[in-house]
């Protein structure tokens, strides 16, 4: 008879066996993430008393997230967004910078495009026939100590006054309401646009089903996206939100945080103005992966 002891069937012994199986993971950070992830996953399954049938539903949901994704759509990003995970990770990463006066980050979302058109400061990012109230945006990019950052790349993108990004809307020309600017010697940039409207997140995939199951609304408050790349600084992805939007305090993806809400100021001529400061944290410049071409 073998003198080997049968493994125990207790959850504790199972967890310990799974953690032991991770012991030889070569990459130390991956090893740490797996270890913590395995512990939380086991605790979650026990606390929620997950049944085999429920596990099947959950795994099918993950498969559906993958199947709904492709070169033009990233359902995984949307899942992280509607669960608040993207906002949590960004805010945690920026905690120290925010304590030092850095601009709060906000999620990139699925609509940033590679190769947005390069434009000169002061230019329009909307075509002349884009309907809606005019919006003039001015901004300055600074380091945390207040030094203006010349030569920073400022990418911006926004939805139309109908609440649609150009790639969702056949009536808009390609790359409408998108631009890439470079800051001047004082770190300033500026452009003309139209006032964006709020919009629903895409609900044609499994994330839409999840939102419906939770009986949640699907709206984001009106906003403009910014992604700023300055040498010697961490890349800043953020958004500024229209504080007068009905969903300003109720963003479906939890991105609208207090310091990013702004009143678009009337310019006295039917249009509006928005002035923003973008305070960047010194550090390694890592440009995030662009979700769509």
* Contact region with Fe ion (CB under 5 A), list: 45-53, 109-117, 178-186, 246-254: 109-117
CA 121 to centroid of chain Cα atoms: 25
CB count within 10 Å of CB 145 equals 9
Q: Please give the backbone phi and psi of residue 286, each rounded to the nearest 5 degrees, phi first.
A: -120, 110
Q: Which residues contact 253 (CB under 8 A, 6 or more apart)?
A: 81, 82, 84, 86, 87, 107, 109, 201, 220
Is 111 a residue that touches ligand BEZ (CB under 6 A)?
yes
Interacting residue with ligand BEZ among 79, 80, 94, 107 (CB under 6 A): 107
Of Fe ion, ligand BEZ, none, which one sits near residue 141, judging by CB under 5 to 8 A according to partner kind? none
Q: Which residues contact 58 (CB under 8 A, 6 or more apart)?
A: 50
Give me the least distance between CB of 70 and Fe ion, in Å please. Answer: 20
| C-beta separation of 159 from 201 below 8 A | no
C-beta closer to Fe ion: residue 165 or 189: 165
Is 260 a residue that touches ligand BEZ (CB under 6 A)?
no
From residue 174 to residue 213, what is the string marking binding to ligand BEZ with x (rule CB under 6 A)? ---------------------------x------------
* Contact region with Fe ion (CB under 5 A), list: 53-61, 101-109, 182-190, 267-275: 101-109
Distance CA(195)–CA(173), nearest Å, equals 17
Stated as kind and residue range, the H or E segment containing 76 is helix 75-82
Distance CA(266)–CA(81), nearest Å, equals 32
* Contact region with Fe ion (CB under 5 A), list: 7-15, 88-96, 106-114, 182-190: 106-114
Distance CA(159)–CA(161), nearest Å, equals 7
Is 78 a residue that touches ligand BEZ (CB under 6 A)?
yes
* Contact region with ligand BEZ (CB under 6 A), list: 27-35, 42-50, 102-110, 119-127: 102-110
Give me the least distance between CB of 95 and Fe ion, in Å please. Answer: 24
């Amino acid at each position: 008879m073998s003198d080997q002891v049968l493994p125990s069937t207790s959850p504790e012994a199972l967890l310990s066996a799974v953690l032991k199986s991770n012991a030889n993971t070569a990459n130390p950070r991956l090893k740490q993430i797996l270890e913590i992830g395995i512990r939380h996953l086991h605790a979650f399954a026990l606390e929620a008393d997950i049944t085999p049938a429920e596990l099947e539903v959950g795994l099918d949901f993950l498969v559906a997230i993958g199947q709904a994704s492709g070169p033009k759509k990233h359902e995984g990003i949307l899942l992280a967004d509607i669960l608040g995970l993207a906002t949590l990770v960004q805010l945690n990463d920026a905690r120290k910078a925010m304590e030092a006066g850095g601009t709060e980050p906000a999620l990139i979302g699925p609509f940033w495009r590679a190769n947005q058109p390069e434009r000169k400061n002061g230019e329009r990012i909307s075509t002349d026939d884009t309907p809606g109230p005019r919006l003039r945006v001015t901004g300055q990019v600074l380091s945390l100590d207040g030094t203006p950052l010349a030569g920073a790349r400022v990418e911006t993108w926004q939805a139309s006054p109908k609440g649609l990004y150009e790639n969702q809307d056949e009536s808009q020309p390609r790359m409408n309401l998108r631009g890439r600017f470079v800051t001047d010697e004082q770190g300033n940039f500026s452009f003309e646009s139209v006032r964006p409207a709020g919009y629903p997140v895409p609900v044609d995939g499994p994330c839409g089903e999840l939102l419906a199951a939770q009986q949640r609304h699907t709206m984001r408050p009106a906003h403009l996206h910014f992604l700023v790349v300055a040498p010697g600084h961490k890349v800043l992805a953020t958004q500024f939100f229209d504080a007068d939007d009905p969903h300003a305090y109720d963003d479906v993806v939890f991105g609208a945080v207090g310091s990013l809400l702004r009143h678009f100021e009337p310019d006295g001529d039917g249009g509006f103005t928005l002035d923003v400061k973008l305070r960047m944290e010194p550090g390694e410049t890592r440009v995030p992966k662009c979700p769509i071409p």
